[in-house]
Amino acid sequence: MPDSKIPSSADSRPMLQRASGALRMQVALRAGRSGLATLHQQAPCRALMPDTEPGSPFEAVLINTSGGLVGGDRLDTEISIGPGAAATLVSQAAEKVYRSTGDDTRIETRLSAEAGAWLEWLPQETILFDGARLRRRLVATLDPEARLLAAEIVLFGRAARGESFTYGFLHDSWAIRSKDRLVWTDAIRLDGDIGARRSRAFGFGRAAGYATLLHAGPAAAAFLPAARAIAAAVPAEGGATMVGGMLLLRFLADDAALLRQAVVTAAGGLRAAIAGLPARLPRVWQI
């Protein structure tokens, strides 16, 4: 009879370390200034609050201290902006999603903004390495009098190093809600022979990645002409339209640097037109 104290070969396999990070943040308006009300951080998620120029919104720089994500990692972020408060949320650097041995990387983001709030969600690029498996969902719940400017960039590998996202899995979804009403939802799913799917004429062609920008607010339609002018001037293919009362911009570019520049230009132009903020994005975008 085998000794029960001797582990089997399956039991002796090394346990792979996985990250399970969380960030909970509330921003509130106090004495005429927006500031941090509550903050909960669970590694590897961290937030830094740099000094901002007078008149600029409260700013939080979100950091993943693990330096990248692998299969089985999970990040949960929940951020709420109180009545009349203003906040700009950015990431310290591009998020890298590395090759998975089978499990999915999961990123869940929940944003909310109360009446009169201004919320900017402007993370830097998400880079998918070959073999990466990513499930990502963003849900924003807005008061009808709140305003949101959000952007996301997804890159299919690091083209400058000859790398490309040809196999793996991607399910990237958005949902925008006005109180209890679903205003807009969208998702992209890539699986199987991703290289072949991407290269199709009705897919992404030779694009290095794609970008989505949106603005939701009570007067979003008034900024459509400005958004179309901005989209026509950026160094990427794309355009602007209205969907469900929301302003939506999409971009594709064969070069990752050009796609990034398109988002910097478009997001900067929109924040200036909509909220009267400087057309330049926060400092971390310039590094």
Cα-flanking dihedrals φ and ψ of residue 189, to 5°?
-135, 125
Cα-flanking dihedrals φ and ψ of residue 196, to 5°?
-70, -40
Instruction: Identify whether the C-beta of residue 168 lies closer than 8 Å to the C-beta of residue 133.
Output: yes
pLDDT value for 179: 83
Q: Which residue has the tokens 């924040």?
A: 271
pLDDT value for 71: 94
The angle at the Cα of 212, spanning 77 to 100, to the nearest 5 degrees, equals: 55
Under the banding of pLDDT at 50, 70 and 90, the label for residue 287 is: low
- What is the separation, in whole angstroms, between the first and last Cα of the chain? 64
pLDDT value for 6: 46
Tokens representing 106?
A: 């999961």
Closest CA to 165 of 138, 187, 196, 135: 196
Out of 51-60, 247-256, 266-275, pick the least confident. 51-60
3-state secondary structure of 149: strand
Under the banding of pLDDT at 50, 70 and 90, the label for residue 276 is: very high
Cα-flanking dihedrals φ and ψ of residue 275, to 5°?
-115, 0
Which residues have CB under 8 Å from 7's CB, separation 6+?
none
Q: How far, in whole angstroms, is CA 105 from its chain's centroid?
A: 14
pLDDT value for 105: 97
CA-CA distance, 106 to 279, in Å (whole number)? Answer: 32
Out of 158-167, 180-189, 238-247, pick the least confident. 158-167
In this prediction, residues 158-178 reach a mean pLDDT of: 92
Closest CA to 25 of 39, 35, 42: 39
286 Ramachandran zone, left/alpha/beta (phi>0; psi -120 to 50): alpha
pLDDT value for 159: 78
pLDDT value for 4: 45
pLDDT value for 13: 44
pLDDT value for 15: 57
Could you give the angle at which helices 224-233 and 256-275 cross, rounded to 10 degrees?
150
Cα-flanking dihedrals φ and ψ of residue 262, to 5°?
-60, -45
CA-CA distance, 262 to 251, in Å (whole number)? Answer: 8
Tokens representing 208?
A: 């290095």
Percent of the chain at pLDDT exceeding 70: 94
266 Ramachandran zone, left/alpha/beta (phi>0; psi -120 to 50): alpha
**Predicted structure pTM score:** 0.91
Give yes or no for a cis peptide into 235 (omega within 30° of 0). Answer: no
pLDDT value for 16: 62
Instruction: Identify whether the C-beta of residue 284 lies closer than 8 Å to the C-beta of residue 122.
Output: no
177-228 pLDDT per residue, tens: 998 899 999 999 999 899 998 888 778 988 999 999 999 999 999 999 999 9
